[in-house]
Structure 1
Amino acid sequence: MSIRRLPEKLVNRIAAGEVVERPAAALKELVENAIDAGATRISVRIAEGGISRLEVEDDGCGMTAADMALALERHATSKLPDDAIEDVTTLGFRGEALPSIASVARLTLESRVAGGDGWRRIVDNGALAGEGPAALAKGTRVLVEDLFARVPARRKFLRSARSEYAACLDVVKRLAMARPDIGFTFDHDGRRALDVQGGQDRLSRVAALTSRDLAANSIGVDLDRGEVHLGGVISLPTFNRGIADHQYLFVNGRPVKDRLLVGALRGAYADLLARDRHPVVALFLDLPAHEVDVNVHPAKTEVRFRDPQLVRGMIVGGLRRALDEHGFRSVQRPAEAALAAWQQEPVAPAQPATGLLFGHHAPREAPAVHLFGAEQAPASGEITARVYDRMTAFAPAPLAGRAEVATAPPPEAAEHPLGIARGQIAKTYIVAEAEDGLVIVDQHAAHERLVLETLKRGMAGQAVPSQGLLMPEVVELDEPACDRLEAAAPQLAALGVELERFGPAAVMVRSTPAMLGAIDCTRLVTDIADDLAGYDAALGLSERLELVAATMACHGSVRAGRTLNVAEMNALLRQMEVTPHSGQCNHGRPTWVKLAMDDVEKLFGRK
């Protein structure tokens, strides 16, 4: 078969396959054009998830009639003033979006420049269908109707209208997050789904597009390394989600979904979250144009860095440093559902002086129980055994916590952020009084984090104290697991686990970390072997060992169900206050919550 030149209409459809794979992709190109046109307000309206209708209107610079005709030709753009494609600073520049969309849909383009007349141009699936004057304010309006209506092979692969709507909303959110100076509205089937005003600061815009609670549970990131700047907002590890749909990454203002950046983000939170939990982040990476190639993907969602290790190290190090600086911070306020679960005892009518115990009515079939019967009243300051028995028969169950005789004056709560221990409930939670509220600590989760941070210091060169076993213990495993343990033996020794190969399918454990106490060596070593095999092989050994350390910490923590005395409780609180990341356990759950005094007073109707 001889070589032939493809017709222009077919070339545009091939380009559309690269750029316009679904309504969200077309919407992304149109909104990016509006941003590059200098718009301060962008309105988006879609119907049926964008399949039947997409409309984008902006108040940007607009186009003349001649520019509109040129914009609908392939490889025509105003975003490259010269041939230096590597120095592009706009969001779009390939010059294929409008003609590609017009080749697979009915496109109506209306625009007007300041001081000029408006003009309309209609292209129906690649063919000019009409043009003429248009009445509109300065700016541009683009209407796309019946996407892929004449390309059934492409349309049948579109998802449901609900799924396509979700993808379109995500596109607008990401672009709105990148430009907090621009106002955005988004309507779907006549219903307003998004409305943010221009001129917001970055944190306010991110919180408005993700969660209002993010502002109170986030950490700012601001790091410079040479000509590279990393900024943005990251959530506390305890403020997380089950899916990674609230992770927004930007390179030079361009929303991207780059595997290098996602991997660096996962590394930064490696031992702070469970594997199935994800932080809420919006990171903005700015670097010179010649240090990044943004033209490696038709939709420009992926980038290539000249120095990827610098970028990865900057993200991991910068986020780690920001998280470290916030020490024991956790999600500060209990969930509203948790507050609603508190029950208020109904108030009974006042009883006479000779009424019932505690102001409650006795059962109808039982006679009233009086403090003192017809017998002689007890002497002053005494309660007879008979009366005591009657009172305790109606008294509530004893409290689970216990108090101890103080040997020294208790410290002042104002001197400590986590307050002073006042007791323990259910042998699991420490109740402490802080200056501004009531603090409840999960003793197992908190101690698990403290043990992990100690193990991590051992990995950083401060050897973890180990205790030798009276009799070395042999643990049998399969040969690949033994190979992995043998390769990691020097690093495990820094964590206090000394082991050596003992035949092809076993290892001998000689010592374990002293802080773990008496533990099941077989279970510990088996878990370590599983972790070395199960974590992402792309991670370095040191990163995998950090995850292994989290497993080790869980083995030696103070378990729920153990009774602590007051001194032990206060010692745990004081250690938490000086330990990084002690606000969340190794699985991303909070180790402590605070019930503010205002909330306590509301529970009792004082406010």
Structure 2
Amino acid sequence: MPIQTLPDTLIDQIAAGEVVERPASAVKELIENALDAGATRIDVELEEGGMRLIRIRDDGSGIPADELALALSRHATSKIASLDDLEQVTTMGFRGEALPSMASVSHFAIVSRPASQAHAMRIESDGGKLQAAQPAQHPPGTTIEVRDLFYNVPARRRFLKAERTEFGHIEELLRAFALARMDIELRVTHNGKQVRSYRASGSDDERLRRLGEALGADFPAQSLALAHDGAGLRLSGWVGLPTTARSQADQQYFFVNRRLVRDRVVTHAVRQAYADVLYHGRHPAYVLFLDIDPVRVDVNVHPAKTEVRFRDSRLVHDFLFRSLHQALAGARAGAAGGEALGGVVPAAAANAPAFEGTQRSPAGIAHPLAGMVAPQPYAMRQGSMSLPVREQIGAYAALYGAARNDATAPAPADTGDGAPPLGYALAQLHGIFVLAENAAGLVLVDMHAAHERISYERLKTAQDGEGIRAQPLLVPLTLAVSEREAQCAEERREALAALGFEIDRSGPQSLTIRGIPALLDGVDARRLALDVLSDLIEHGSTRRIEEQRNALLSTMACHASVRANRRLTLPEMNALLRDMETTERSGQCNHGRPTWVQLSRQELDRLFLRGR
């Protein structure tokens, strides 16, 4: 077949296959156009999961009458005009493909009126065949109708799923828009019935309410708010507590300049940040916003604009990891809003504790609570590595009063403002749980899980102070690698040495391992070296050594912690509570299980039907 120019209709249908995969894709493109037009209210009307009808009405700036037909031309856009514009895109849409692509595979109509025009204009397209524009009645703004999507492309229509499935994809998409732009009112109707109504949110309480409407009432109470700035980047939003992780990754929303994206760099950074606190096989929930200079991110990677490419992916990865890691480290048992840090969270606890790298609140998603920094544990300040509970009594007596050091003294009854967050111990139950009274009510602590986390964090602190020592191998190992891996090992020799590896390049595609991290003696050195090199190539950094080390320290901490059925004195129990309050990540044990639970006075009253 000779080379020939394709007809415009076929070109549009090819583009439609890239841009409009299903009804949800069409809804995404149309809502993005409405947001770019400055809309403050968007109404979405659907029939049969969007396969029969998609109608989207906005109150944006509208399209002038003389530009209406041009809007349905290929690669016609008002959002970019030069290569410089393309390299710093600030709008949601910019490629000029969406409207003509949709018009080529549907019965399409657009009605629009700028505020400066006396009346609106309507233009229709039937499978790409454009009709003349006609006057119409319409308030300022735009309405777009997409009927019978893929009616003229039977092969594509057969790939659509059941109505319920297609509508589910649209619901998930609209949920993301509702989170990304809380300042926009968004209403959804399906088959004549209103199914969603997201009211515009301005205040902190309204944003938390909208967050709960989108992700469930428990999410705001079971998450940490954060806002962190650094290196020209800004991360803000909410991250779910490790103890409320989910069985699947169905509540993970990451926005770059308010654009929802799926990115491997982001996913890897989040997974690493949660690695030390998440139960095996569970997935964290989060709603995060990364604000970055548009010049430093390329959004023109995929026709559907669901992927981005960072100019400096290593910087972004490290910034995300450190910000989230620090925020999660602040999840100490008994911190402000303490009930949100335990394993059970009252539904009414609307305000999650916040971590802030700066005092500025992120635009659109400010949180009412400022960050809190707990004091360093006494034993850490003294350089102690890991002391049995009984040996810490003297230290806590100095902090909380000598009377607490008397093993026969009853627990203080004062649970007012002067009491510690976790209160004072009352008793031990079944040799496993510590019962304590605080200002909010009753605290239950799994003593082994709590002490395991305390021991683990102290082991890590001690190891971090010593650094990673290398242990020479009696017999050096030869490792066959790719030329890229060999080059990486040669270029990053100092970085590998800092991790405890002594690796030399012995050929174009071979390495010689002469030393490994001393703490990891006995591991598969070949496998570990390959994994470390893979991380250095892919992300520019690696935490493999730290993860392996932490796994070993976690096992050591588990064996060093107080065991079940060991009877503790009241001072020992109080020492454990004080340790929990000042230890990072003490809301959960090394395996991700909760270490404590708060039962409020109101919950206790309900259990006994008091006040009824």
Distance 1:55 1:589, change over 3 A: farther
The aligned residue for residue 391 of structure 2 is none
CA distance in 2, matches of 1:446, 1:181: 42
Distance 1:510 1:426, change over 3 A: farther
* Superposition pairs of residues 387-402 of structure 1, within 5 angstroms: none
2:42 maps to 1:42: yes
* Superposition pairs of residues 391-540 of structure 1, within 5 angstroms: 406-411=407-412, 414=415, 415-462=419-466, 538=535
The aligned residue for residue 214 of structure 1 is 219
The aligned residue for residue 199 of structure 1 is 201
Are 1:528 and 1:551, in contact at CA under 8 Å, matched by a contact in 2? no
The aligned residue for residue 146 of structure 2 is 144
Distance 1:160 1:525, change over 3 A: farther
* Superposition pairs of residues 332-411 of structure 1, within 5 angstroms: 332=342, 334=344, 406-411=407-412
* Superposition pairs of residues 65-464 of structure 1, within 5 angstroms: 65-84=65-84, 85-114=86-115, 115-128=117-130, 131-200=133-202, 201=204, 202-328=207-333, 329=335, 330-332=340-342, 334=344, 406-411=407-412, 414=415, 415-462=419-466
Tell me the matched-pair count.
497
Paired residue type of 1:311: V
Question: SS in structure 2 opposite 1:241?
Answer: coil
**Which structure is larger by alpha-carbon Rg, 1 or 2?**
1
Are 2:531 and 2:544, in contact at CA under 8 Å, matched by a contact in 1? no
The aligned residue for residue 401 of structure 1 is none
**Structure 1 position 137, deviation (Å):** 1.4
Give a deviation string over 1:164-206, Cα, whole Å, max 9, x none.
2221112112122221111111222333332111133554443
Distance 1:149 1:95, change over 3 A: same
**Structure 1 position 120, deviation (Å):** 1.6
Are 1:532 and 1:545, in contact at CA under 8 Å, matched by a contact in 2? no
The aligned residue for residue 594 of structure 2 is 590
**Structure 1 position 117, deviation (Å):** 1.0
**Structure 1 position 71, deviation (Å):** 0.4
The aligned residue for residue 21 of structure 1 is 21
Question: SS in structure 2 opposite 1:238?
Answer: helix
Are 1:429 and 1:442, in contact at CA under 8 Å, matched by a contact in 2? yes
Paired residue type of 2:276: D
Give a deviation string over 1:286-334, Cα, whole Å, max 9, x none.
1212111110111111111111111111111111222233422554573
Moved more, 527-536 or 411-420: 527-536
The aligned residue for residue 576 of structure 2 is 572
The aligned residue for residue 360 of structure 2 is none
Unaligned regions of 5+ residues in structure 1, if any?
A: 338-404, 465-478, 481-487, 494-508, 513-523
Distance 1:133 1:234, change over 3 A: same
Are 1:18 and 1:299, in contact at CA under 8 Å, matched by a contact in 2? yes
CA distance in 1, matches of 2:38, 2:497: 59
CA distance in 1, matches of 2:456, 2:113: 62
CA distance in 1, matches of 2:530, 2:568: 40
Distance 1:551 1:54, change over 3 A: farther
**Structure 1 position 81, deviation (Å):** 4.5
Question: SS in structure 2 opposite 1:186?
Answer: strand
CA distance in 2, matches of 1:276, 1:511: 26
Are 1:79 and 1:90, in contact at CA under 8 Å, matched by a contact in 2? yes
**Structure 1 position 23, deviation (Å):** 1.3
Distance 1:543 1:37, change over 3 A: same
The aligned residue for residue 55 of structure 1 is 55
The aligned residue for residue 399 of structure 2 is none
Distance 1:106 1:584, change over 3 A: same
Paired residue type of 2:214: L
Question: SS in structure 1 opposite 2:6?
Answer: coil
Question: SS in structure 1 opposite 2:150?
Answer: coil
Are 2:238 and 2:286, in contact at CA under 8 Å, matched by a contact in 1? yes
Question: SS in structure 2 opposite 1:278?
Answer: coil
CA distance in 1, matches of 2:465, 2:265: 28
Are 1:206 and 1:282, in contact at CA under 8 Å, matched by a contact in 2? no
CA distance in 1, matches of 2:573, 2:524: 29
Are 2:519 and 2:549, in contact at CA under 8 Å, matched by a contact in 1? no
**Structure 1 position 69, deviation (Å):** 0.6
Question: SS in structure 2 opposite 1:582?
Answer: coil
Paired residue type of 2:601: M
Paired residue type of 1:228: L
Distance 1:336 1:573, change over 3 A: closer
Query: TM-score, normalised on structure 1?
Result: 0.74
CA distance in 2, matches of 1:427, 1:525: 36
**Structure 1 position 430, deviation (Å):** 1.6
Give a deviation string over 1:66-122, Cα, whole Å, max 9, x none.
222110000101111544211221100000000001111111111112142122211
Give a deviation string over 1:436-495, Cα, whole Å, max 9, x none.
21001122322232232123223422479xxxxxxxxxxxxxx99xxxxxxx999799xx
Distance 1:123 1:244, change over 3 A: same
Paired residue type of 2:462: G
Paired residue type of 1:178: A
The aligned residue for residue 349 of structure 1 is none
Paired residue type of 2:177: L
Question: SS in structure 2 opposite 1:99?
Answer: helix
Moved more, 562-571 or 528-537: 528-537
Are 1:267 and 1:543, in contact at CA under 8 Å, matched by a contact in 2? no
Paired residue type of 1:210: L
Distance 1:203 1:598, change over 3 A: closer
Are 1:86 and 1:290, in contact at CA under 8 Å, matched by a contact in 2? yes
**Structure 1 position 41, deviation (Å):** 0.3
The aligned residue for residue 385 of structure 1 is none
Paired residue type of 1:323: L
Are 1:437 and 1:596, in contact at CA under 8 Å, matched by a contact in 2? yes
**Structure 1 position 548, deviation (Å):** 5.1
Are 1:420 and 1:432, in contact at CA under 8 Å, matched by a contact in 2? yes
Distance 1:526 1:413, change over 3 A: farther
Give a deviation string over 1:357-409, Cα, whole Å, max 9, x none.
xxxxxxxxxxxxxxxxxxxxxxxxxxxxxxxxxxxxxxxxxxxxxxxx95235
**Structure 1 position 144, deviation (Å):** 0.9
Moved more, 59-68 or 541-550: 541-550
**Structure 1 position 234, deviation (Å):** 1.6
Query: TM-score, normalised on structure 2?
Result: 0.74
Are 1:531 and 1:547, in contact at CA under 8 Å, matched by a contact in 2? no
CA distance in 2, matches of 1:230, 1:563: 44
Moved more, 554-563 or 154-163: 554-563
The aligned residue for residue 31 of structure 1 is 31
Are 1:457 and 1:463, in contact at CA under 8 Å, matched by a contact in 2? no
